[in-house]
Amino acid sequence: MKFIIEKGELSALTTLVHRAASNKNTIPALSGLLIEADQAKGLTMTATDMEIGIKTSTKEVEIIEEGRVLVNAHYFADFIKLLPDSTITVQLNPETAKLDITYGRSTGHINIYNDQEYPDLPLQEIKEKFSLPQKILKEGLKKTAFAAASNHFRQVFTGVLFDILPGGVLKIIASDTHRLTYYTYMMPEKDLEPFNFVIPTRTVNEILRVVEDTDEPFHISLSGNNVVFSKPDFILLSRLIEGQYPDYDQVIPDSFKTEVKINAYQLATTLERAKTMPTDDKLKIQYVQMSFNQNEVTFKTYSEIMGEIVEIIENIEIEGETDFKISFNTNYLLDIAKIYASEGEKINIKFSGPLSPALVTNPEKDNYFYVIVPLRTAN
């Protein structure tokens, strides 16, 4: 195998793919990056740890001799990234069983693995289910995935739910049981058979690395217990999270005692300052208490160690009951506020009571919203 390629093109491919390789040493082949040179297909790279797999290719390469080789993914990617910007020649030396990488008058010699032990990605029987514009997939994941749990005894809560309902309604949902994010998109295909699946947040992160703000489609397919996200010259395969996702509609409040419209930027910056206060040693959770009075809201953050911050946001719009206090996890509310602050002026919060879930919406958009559960605090 031998090919010539620009360093930038080679680094872009390896940076994209190598993250799917295993960091563990139990099965050396799974820590490998499979490099394949083919006159018709160009240069293709594949990495997988059996939980996630990424395959991408480029034709911006000169293939001199076809072949394939398996190298350590993370070392190869780190090495290529640090090479000078120049034309690079990559060649398998059968005598030394090393991959020679020549840049200028210098050459690196990298050990190879046995590529016969490398598993094929299960792409033979994939069934395409639907497609999404890349900008919709990006928006849906960015507005939901942050609410998934990092750890939970019910594994479905560590992932993001794609729920396809009758009439071509797609709902993207994430929750850690203390908050819920909800995004809706009406697909052009109205006759899709209802189904759903849950993908790990690791898969979400990899998708967000490659998805673009375009109308070009990302194709979503299923293959056994795997989901495949693909676009030209790129395939990401992920194992699905098994288990039944709970009925998320049950946790969405439908009656409210108070509705507040507040400046999203002011809310975000207030919460950023509140976040600087150390956590309460008793509760172990950073929280902010909101209290309402006529057309203003007071935010109070307290720490036994460091002190207290009290801020007032004036000129809010409020309807319904005004004389009550409610406390939220500071980081949870801040995550939501930052999204709204990046999109518009106002944020709408509907309250059912000081101990009931609140509904947070965008007054100008109705395709996504958030449910956040308040905290029980001593004061």
What would the pLDDT profile of 310-331 be if each residue is shown by its tens digit? 999 999 999 999 888 999 999 9
Order of strands across the sheet with 307-313?
307-313, 296-303, 287-293, 325-329
Q: 123 in a domain, yes or no?
A: no
For residues 12 and 54, membership in a common domain is answered with: yes
Distance CA 358, CA 122 (A): 43
Q: At a CB cut-off of 8 Å and minimum separation 6, what does 261 contact?
A: 316, 317, 318, 346, 347, 348, 363
- Parent domain of 210: 128-249
For residues 204 and 228, membership in a common domain is answered with: yes
How open is the CA angle 357-361-362, to the nearest 5 degrees? 165
Nearest to 109 by CA among 123, 133, 129, 93: 93
- Which residues share a beta bridge with 234? 56, 231
For 118-177, how does the pLDDT look when each residue is reduced to its tens digit (9 = 90+)? Answer: 998 888 888 999 999 999 999 999 999 999 999 999 999 999 999 999 999 999 999 999
Give the CATH number of the domain where residue 337 resides. 3.10.150.10
Largest CA distance in the chain: 82
Give, as one character, the DSSP assignment of residue 375.
B
- Of 249, 278, 306, which residue is a domain's last? 249
Tokens representing 375? 């905290």
- The whole-number pLDDT of residue 224 equals 87
- The whole-number pLDDT of residue 56 equals 97
336 sits in which H/E element: helix 330-341
Q: Which residues of the chain have pLDDT under 50?
A: none
pTM for the model stands at 0.93
Distance CA 219, CA 231 (A): 6
Q: Are 144 and 173 in contact (CB under 8 A)?
A: yes
How open is the CA angle 153-158-159, to the nearest 5 degrees? 140
Q: 122 in a domain, yes or no?
A: no
- The whole-number pLDDT of residue 285 equals 85
SS3 of the chain: helix, strand, coil, percent, to 5: 20, 45, 35
Nearest to 331 by CA among 375, 361, 291: 375
- Of 203, 226, 249, which residue is a domain's last? 249
Amino acid identity of residue 179, one-letter, is R
Q: 379 in a domain, yes or no?
A: no
Q: 286 in a domain, yes or no?
A: yes
Distance CA 98, CA 100 (A): 6
Dihedral sign computed on CA atoms, order 146, 337, 258, 274: positive
Q: 53 in a domain, yes or no?
A: yes
